[in-house]
C-alpha cells in the first residue's frame, strides 16, 4: 500500500483537481492523509465531501516540513508519496514509482517527472551535489513530448530483438492476447526501510529536510 500525503494551505480549487487525479489514476492500494495548515478558504468544506481520507486540521500554519512530520505519524503504507496539491497524477504514475523503487535494494527514494501545463518538463528528479545543493534534472530543457519520443527511441534500440517478436501496431491485432505462466513460487517481502521520523527539524531545531539511512 502507498500512503499519499497532502499538505494544504488554501487553494481549494487546485486541491480538487489533485484529488480527482488520485481517484482516477490510483490503480494500486492507497490510503490518503491530508494535513490542512489552517486554510481559510473552502478547503474544509471540500474535505467534508471526500470519503476514505484521514483529514487533519491544524489551528495554526505549521508550514510544510512540520506538517509532513505530523502526517507521517498516520501513514501505514510501505511507501509514502509526498504530493503537492497543485500537482496531478497521470496514468501509471504510482505503479511506475513502486516498480522502480523495488527494482534495487539500494534505492531509498524515487522522484517522478514533473510536467507543466504548457507541456514542458519542469524536471525529471533532482541532482544532489556534493555541497548539498540540488538541481532539477532537465529543468526547462526539453518538452514532455520530446522526452517521450527520445525514450521511445532508446527502448526500440535496446530491445529490438524482443520487439521483433511482438504483433505489429494494427487494430486487427487487438484481439490477440498473450500470457506468461510459471511454476516458480513467488514471495513478496515487505519492509519499511526509510525512517519516517527523519523529516523536518532535528532536536537542535535545524532544518534537516529528508534523510535516508
Q: CA of 16: how far to CAs of 10, 21, 112, 139, 145, in Å?
A: 11, 9, 21, 27, 26
pLDDT tens figures, 98-140: 998 899 888 888 887 887 777 777 777 777 666 666 677 777 6
What's residue 208's pLDDT?
Answer: 41
Whole-angstrom distance, CA of residue 142 vs CA of residue 123: 9
Residue 92 contacts residue 148 (beta carbons within 8 Å) = no
Mapped onto helix, strand or coil, the DSSP state of residue 17 is: helix
Helix (H, G, I), strand (E, B) or coil at 37: coil
Determine contact, residues 28/2, Cβ cutoff 8 Å.
yes
What 3 state SS string does 90-153 have? Answer: CCCHHHHHHHHHCCCCCCCCCCCEEECCCCEEEEECEEECCCCCEEECCCCCCEHHHHHHHHHH
Cα 64 to Cα 47: distance, rounded to the nearest angstrom: 19
Please report the pLDDT score of residue 113 as a whole number.
80
- Bridge partner residues of 4 (DSSP): 32, 81
Give the residue among 32, 40, 29 at the shortest CA–CA distance from 71. 32
What pLDDT does 9 receive?
92
Beta pairing, strands 2-8 & 134-136: unpaired
Residue with cell 495548515: 37
Q: Which domains can be identified in the chain, with CATH numbers?
A: 1-106 (3.90.550.10), 111-167 (no CATH)
Tens of pLDDT along the chain (213 residues)? Answer: 899 999 999 999 999 999 999 999 888 999 999 999 999 999 999 999 888 889 999 999 999 889 999 999 999 989 999 988 888 888 888 898 899 889 988 888 888 788 777 777 777 777 766 666 667 777 766 665 676 677 778 878 887 887 777 666 655 554 554 444 444 443 433 333 444 444 444 445 444 444 443
Residue 199 backbone phi and psi in degrees, to 5: -115, 130
Measure the CA–CA gap between 102 and 27, rounded to whole angstroms: 17
Question: Which H/E stretch holds residue 55?
Answer: strand 53-57
Q: What is the model's pLDDT at position 20?
A: 92
Instruction: Tell if the pTM clears 0.85, that is, is over it.
Output: no
Give the C-alpha separation, 83 to 5, whole Å: 6
Q: What pLDDT is recorded for position 172?
A: 58
Amino acid at each position: 500500500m502507498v500512503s499519499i500525503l497532502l499538505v494544504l494551505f488554501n487553494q481549494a480549487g487546485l486541491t480538487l483537481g489533485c484529488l480527482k487525479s488520485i481517484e482516477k489514476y490510483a490503480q494500486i492500494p492507497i490510503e490518503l492523509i491530508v494535513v490542512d495548515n489552517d486554510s481559510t478558504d473552502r478547503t474544509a468544506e471540500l474535505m467534508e465531501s471526500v470519503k476514505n481520507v484521514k483529514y487533519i486540521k491544524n489551528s495554526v500554519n505549521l508550514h510544510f516540513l512540520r506538517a509532513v512530520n505530523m502526517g507521517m505519524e498516520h501513514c501505514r503504507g510501505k511507501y509514502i508519496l509526498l504530493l503537492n496539491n497543485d500537482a496531478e497524477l497521470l496514468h501509471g504514475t504510482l505503479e511506475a514509482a513502486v516498480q522502480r523503487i523495488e527494482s534495487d535494494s539500494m534505492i531509498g527514494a524515487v522522484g517522478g517527472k514533473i510536467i507543466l501545463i504548457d507541456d514542458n518538463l519542469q524536471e525529471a528528479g533532482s541532482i544532489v551535489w556534493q555541497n548539498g545543493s540540488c538541481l532539477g534534472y532537465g529543468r526547462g530543457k526539453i518538452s514532455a513530448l520530446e522526452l517521450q519520443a527520445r525514450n521511445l527511441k532508446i527502448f526500440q534500440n535496446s530491445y529490438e530483438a524482443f520487439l521483433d517478436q511482438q504483433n505489429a501496431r494494427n487494430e486487427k491485432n487487438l484481439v490477440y492476447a498473450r500470457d506468461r505462466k510459471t511454476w516458480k513460487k513467488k514471495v513478496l517481502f515487505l519492509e519499511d526501510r526509510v525512517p519516517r521520523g527523519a523529516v523536518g527539524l532535528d532536536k537542535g531545531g535545524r532544518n534537516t529536510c529528508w534523510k535516508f539511512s
